[in-house]
Amino acid sequence: MEKILIFSTAYMPHIGGAEVAVYEITKRLAGRFGFILITYRFDRSLPKNENINGVEVWRLGFGTKLDRWFIFPFLACVKGWQLQRLHRIRILWAIMVSYASIGACLLKIFKPRLRLLLTLQEGDSEQHLTFGKGGMLGLWWGILARRADRVSAISTYLARRAAKWGAKGEIAIVPNGVDFEHFSKIPDPAGQDLLRESLGLSSSDIVVTTVSRLVFKNAVDTSIQAFKFLEPNYKFLVLGEGEERPALEKLAKEEGLEQRVIFLETISHKLLPQYLRLASVFVRPSRSEGLGNVFLESMASGVPMVATPVGGITDFLKDKITGLFCRPNDPKDLAEKIKLLATDNRLSHQVSENARKLVAEQYSWSPIAAAMEKIFKEL
């Protein structure tokens, strides 16, 4: 069985869209390929080597920002060299333009006969991807795009970026997927009532939800400010953690919204459908976005959403068909779109049904894994 060597800066138990994608794809292709993964050791309590669902995981590094930036890429290259020789690996799979991918690129430079697949999952703004980290991100985007034998991108937006940065290999659009069965399942009504009560929500409250890392690009500040333009019975559930949480809590207090904005920690994958189903509307007025798995999860849950026409969002959100668009950085416009979905039952039902159908047909994991298998076989 052919083995594929994966380079991913983060992996389980650290969970994001890219990590979930690798997990779901490798799970479905486990009988056809063997997978070995090199990742950074963010937490020194985690084992250096373990098997996660059939993937042999190697964690490298010392858990400091300095060594993640300057030492880990070289450690990844050396470990990759050892594993490649031991298992006679032919294919390197680099996840995002990241510290781990630099290690894969270095190994490709030393062993040019190896085949390198670069998968783009980035959700940052064009400005950050070009000038971030003192311009180093833009430099590595160009190097990796040109060195890769093939590129897969989770959205049209990222595919265009790869072409712009000089990708020489074929570029395929392979989106992230969603566990449709899990998110479309209707939760127990009694359990939902208890959950509402535990969160201090009354039967007359209209719940609006976001699931987000609390960082600038996800524009949670815009969402909070939108509630100045909505009636007091509109309540906002913020599910997620991040560096901006203290500033966002302060903003809610300054705007007199601290009783209407409820901050919760990151909710597990298992429980997330219950929290999504509490909402009449899902919002995330992103300033930039590669694709955004949580949009697809909200769509699968049947919750109508408001988002911005940026990045990869336009691949799946069509205005007034699968959701509503609002203008970026415009709380009043966002509030108007929230109220429209919360009060127009016909529109809300129409867009949520269209969205569920789209996710079921185009964003389930099995055809996505099949698309990746085809790319591996062609390399």
pLDDT tens, residue by residue, 197-207: 999 999 999 99
Domain extent listing, the chain: 3-177+364-378, 180-362
Task: Tell me the per-residue pLDDT of 140-184, one tens digit each, with 9 for 90 and over.
Answer: 778 888 999 999 999 999 999 899 888 888 999 999 999 999 999
pLDDT for 43 beyond 90: no
Q: What is the C-alpha separation between 307 and 173, in angstroms, rounded? A: 22
d(CA 306, CA 220): 13
Alpha helices, H only, 88-179: 99-110, 126-131, 136-147, 156-164
Chain segment 308-350, per-residue pLDDT in tens: 999 999 999 999 999 999 999 999 999 999 999 999 999 999 9
pLDDT of residue 325: 98
One fold for both 3-177+364-378 and 180-362?
Answer: yes
Determine the distance from the C-alpha atom of residue 208 to the mean position of all C-alpha atoms in its chain, rounded to a whole number. 20
> pLDDT band at residue 35, thresholds of 50, 70 and 90?
very high
Can you name the residues that pair with 364 across neighbouring β-strands? 178
pTM of the model: 0.86
190 or 136, higher pLDDT: 190
Closest CA to 309 of 298, 317, 301: 317
What pLDDT was estimated at residue 132? 52
Q: What is the mean pLDDT of the chain?
A: 92
Q: 278-302, pLDDT tens digit by residue? A: 999 999 999 999 888 899 999 999 9
Q: What pLDDT score does 77 carry?
A: 96
CATH of domain 180-362: 3.40.50.2000
Instruction: Report whether CATH 3.40.50.2000 matches the domain 3-177+364-378.
Output: yes
